[in-house]
Amino acid sequence: MNKQTYKFPDGFFWGAGSSSYQVEGGIENNDWAKASQEGRVPPCGRACDHYNRYEEDFDIARSLSHNAHRFSIEWSRIEPEEGKFSQEAVEHYRRVLQALKARGIEPYITIWHFWMPLWFSESGGFKRKDSSQIFARYARYVVEQLGDLATKFSTINEPYSVVVNGYVRGNWPPFYEVPLMSFVDLPNGNATKQVPKRSWRGLFDFFTVANKLADAHNEAYDAIKGVRPEVDVSIVFQVFIWEANNNPINKLLAKLQTWNMTTRFMNKVANRCDSIGVNHYFYRRLGGSPKRQVSDTGWELYPEKIYNSLKILSRYKKPMYVAEVGVADADDKYRSEYIKNALLGVHRAIKEGINVKGFLYWSLLDNYELALGYDKRFGLVEVNYDTLERKIRPSAYVYKKIIEDNGIVE
Ligand code: BGC
């Protein structure tokens, strides 16, 4: 029987991702560390000790044939006090970049992935009037210092996760919950309720902070281009996908949600994106959909819907890359199929002419899964948190074969 192949474009970037607080360890000077001291989120501690073990981890990525890797810069290390920048932290990330380069792995740098330096969060975070300028100054500094070693920078990871979890649902710092919100079916689960501060003000904050994050991206874009016009600047956006059955009310609601959770924000920033990073985890069909298997986080598995995310964002006519799709699956039961099905979705988009440059699985290592702590395991590589030993999961080899074939051969 003829084999079916789904080939990806030449030069496609294949790899996995991580973020500073979730893997590095030893970070005490940010809002999440403070929340953990207050008992609101689980402690992070030494995490995967990736801060010291990045070379070993990149060896693993290389052995799995990855040619790209996404990671984030820890803002609280680079700017531990307002306006004071740490050369020591810069030197660390320069060594990280050199280690990737030595292994032929292309870096995708996220300038900010959720965690705020304490001085910033304590003084109001993105509710500060000057927050977009402060962020742009930090972003420019990062690119000034690292831009000779990398060309791909994204400003912000998932702006809506920050606003929805921090100001509407009360799951993440600063823990504001709009009353009655727990009755609204908003897709997100990486959280447990931790004595939120209930206030209607969150509704107002939702819009204020979302707008500030859009300004922050735009101002960071200009600031970065001012010092290094040649680098590629993106934003990483998670599209919450809403669809509906034939009921016209559901159809209208789904359209409204797509506008509210995606297009409203993206319309503001798309002009200042050289490319767009796309994350996918959730899908909702109003009016019901057949029940799917769920992951260890209880999220239904719809990896192929990455196609819809790419399709929705293709209206902006920018090159895109998949910055995250991933599954919490400690027993590695679903991960191989999950990756394949996601890639079939990406392949479908590419076949329709959508320009997708790469695919970065979330995550290379098991890591600190936000307010759910260390129980949920997204890694291609299992981490033993007692010994810090790494063990490559079988699905990582399935992904490796796909990478080596530059596509899926079935
Ligand atoms: C975030 C990651 C997180 C992952 C799984 C994404 O929203 O960018 O930091 O670990 O989802 O919950």
pLDDT in tens, 229-272: 999 999 999 998 999 999 999 999 999 999 999 999 999 999 99
CATH number at residue 204: 3.20.20.80
User: What pLDDT, on a 0 to 100 scale, did the predictor assign at position 410?
Assistant: 82
Confidence class of residue 66 from pLDDT cuts 50, 70 and 90? very high
72 pocket-lining for ligand 1 (C-beta < 6 Å): no
pLDDT in tens, 47-63: 999 999 999 999 999 99
19 pocket-lining for ligand 1 (C-beta < 6 Å): yes
pLDDT in tens, 274-286: 999 999 999 889 9
128 CA distance to ligand 1 centroid (A)? 25
Helices (H), 75-170: 75-78, 87-102, 118-122, 131-146, 159-163
Among 281, 255, 284, 312, CA closest to 186: 284
CA distances in angstroms from 316 to 255, 263, 357, listed in the order given: 18, 10, 15
Q: Is 398 a residue whose pLDDT tops 80? A: yes
Confidence class of residue 184 from pLDDT cuts 50, 70 and 90? low
Q: What's the token pair of residue 293?
A: 């298997």
Number of residues that this document lists for the chain = 410
Which of 370, 372, 380, 383 has most ligand 1 atoms within 8 Å of CB, for mutation?
A: 370
Averaged pLDDT, 90-99: 99
161 pocket-lining for ligand 1 (C-beta < 6 Å): yes
Q: Is 75 a residue whose pLDDT tops 70? A: yes
Whose Cα sits closest to atom 10 in ligand 1? 369
User: What pLDDT, on a 0 to 100 scale, did the predictor assign at position 170?
Assistant: 86
Tally of domains in the chain: 1
Q: Is 397 a residue whose pLDDT tops 90? A: yes
Mean pLDDT taken over the chain = 94
If one compares 190 and 224, the residue with the highest pLDDT of the two is 224
Per the DSSP assignment, residues forming a β-bridge with 108 are: 70, 152
Q: Could you tell me what percentage of the chain is helix, strand and coil, using 3-state DSSP and rounding each to the nearest 5?
A: 45, 20, 35
Q: Is 188 a residue whose pLDDT tops 70? A: no
Give per-residue burial for 43-68: e unless 16+ CB within 10 Å, then b.
ebeebbbbbebbeebbebbbebebbb
What residues contact 133, with CB distance under 8 A and at least 6 apart? Answer: 219
User: What pLDDT, on a 0 to 100 scale, did the predictor assign at position 189?
Assistant: 47
Assess contact for 353 and 341: CB atoms under 8 A. no
Which of 24, 188, 324, 377 has most ligand 1 atoms within 8 Å of CB, for mutation?
A: 324
Assess contact for 302 and 284: CB atoms under 8 A. no
| Residue 239, domain extent | 5-409
**3-state SS class at 94:** helix
Confidence class of residue 194 from pLDDT cuts 50, 70 and 90? low
98 CA distance to ligand 1 centroid (A)? 26
2 CA distance to ligand 1 centroid (A)? 38
Averaged pLDDT, 285-306: 91
pTM of the model: 0.96
Token pair 């001291």 is found at 37
Percent of the chain with pLDDT over 70: 95
327 CA distance to ligand 1 centroid (A)? 10
Q: Give CA–CA dist 96/149, Å, rounded.
A: 10
370 CA distance to ligand 1 centroid (A)? 8
Q: Give CA–CA dist 59/343, Å, rounded.
A: 24
Per the DSSP assignment, residues forming a β-bridge with 16 are: 69, 361
362 pocket-lining for ligand 1 (C-beta < 6 Å): yes
User: What pLDDT, on a 0 to 100 scale, did the predictor assign at position 163?
Assistant: 93
Q: Give CA–CA dist 241/289, Å, rounded.
A: 13
157 pocket-lining for ligand 1 (C-beta < 6 Å): yes
Query: What is the DSSP code (8-state) at residue 197?
Result: E
Averaged pLDDT, 359-363: 99
pLDDT in tens, 135-163: 999 999 999 999 999 999 999 999 999 99
**Ligand 1 atom at minimum distance from 236 CA:** 8
Q: Is 395 a residue whose pLDDT tops 60? A: yes
Confidence class of residue 204 from pLDDT cuts 50, 70 and 90? confident
Helix axes 131-146, 201-227, angle to 10 degrees: 30
CA dihedral 204, 209, 210, 211 (to 10 degrees): 90
If one compares 202 and 114, the residue with the highest pLDDT of the two is 114
Confidence class of residue 180 from pLDDT cuts 50, 70 and 90? low
Q: Is 192 a residue whose pLDDT tops 60? A: no
Q: Is 71 a residue whose pLDDT tops 70? A: yes
User: What pLDDT, on a 0 to 100 scale, did the predictor assign at position 289?
Assistant: 77
